[in-house]
Amino acid sequence: MIQVEDKDALRVVMRGYRSSRETTAFVPTLGNLHDGHLSLVRKAQEVADRVIVSIFLNPTQFNKPEDLKAYPKTKENDLALLKRENVDLVFLPTVKEMYPEGGTTQVQVGGISEILEGDSRPGHFSGVATIVAKLFNLVQPDISVFGKKDFQQLMLIQRMVADLDFGIEIIEAPTAREESGLAMSSRNNYLSSEQRDLIAPNLYKEMRIIRDAIQSGTSDYIALQKTATANLESHGFKPDYVEIRNAFDLSVAKASDKSLVILVSAWLGKARLIDNITLEL
């Protein structure tokens, strides 16, 4: 497994892959890897000859400095996991390498960046779009794999790639879950054992209740959202939002929509959890 920390070394390796006509798949991460990340790596291995993973704790997507500081840093364990998965190349840049002094350019994906997660975390999606665009320019992969757990982020990346003509195929991977149904996330590290095992799974449970009700013919989406919010509060959550949206553009869902996504964000103790379920009618 090759490890590089600077852009020039990365470009040298990538040129070698291209000159050998090997297809490449890229998985960008913040680090603190878990089985959810590794499921993306395995999906990448299914679709390309070479798999590249970046580990970069991107400061521009954290709107609260304390959240950035608290994010777990587990570099050695991350590398061991990636080596076990036979990853070909790991890019581990520093903040100075990715954001040289004097840089002022940012990428803003209009519309989708301002709603839901964007409304709750101002500036977050500009930070995501900017770093992913920079990484795409450096790696120049054929394919990049993103998880559906961050549904709005996935849509944002798809929109950016189309608008800016990156020519990269974006493949979405299913949300990796614990046996309890809890979506795998680095944020789960902030949960106590009781919260993780007994309380947090109710997030997925409430989404499934909404899904089942819609599939059974219920079209009063506002009532479903209010009920789920109240149920989450009764379990000890502080809900940020429970929304039923059109799965194509995240507009407020109408009864006539055939493709829907149920999106939930809620605080449980120190952890802000997000999850979603899509459904076709």
Provide the annotated active-site residues: 37
Rounded-to-integer distance, Cα 178 and Cα 61, Å: 26
Q: Which residues contact 28 (CB under 8 A, 6 or more apart)?
A: 53, 54, 56, 131, 132, 135, 144
Closest CA to 48 of 93, 94, 87: 87
**Which two three-digit tokens encode residue 118?**
């964007």
Q: What is the Cα–Cα distance from 46 to 175, expressed in whole angstroms?
A: 17
**What are the backbone dihedrals phi and psi of residue 268, each rounded to the nearest 5 degrees, phi first?**
-130, 105
Directed axis angle between helix 7-19 and helix 124-139, to 10°? 50
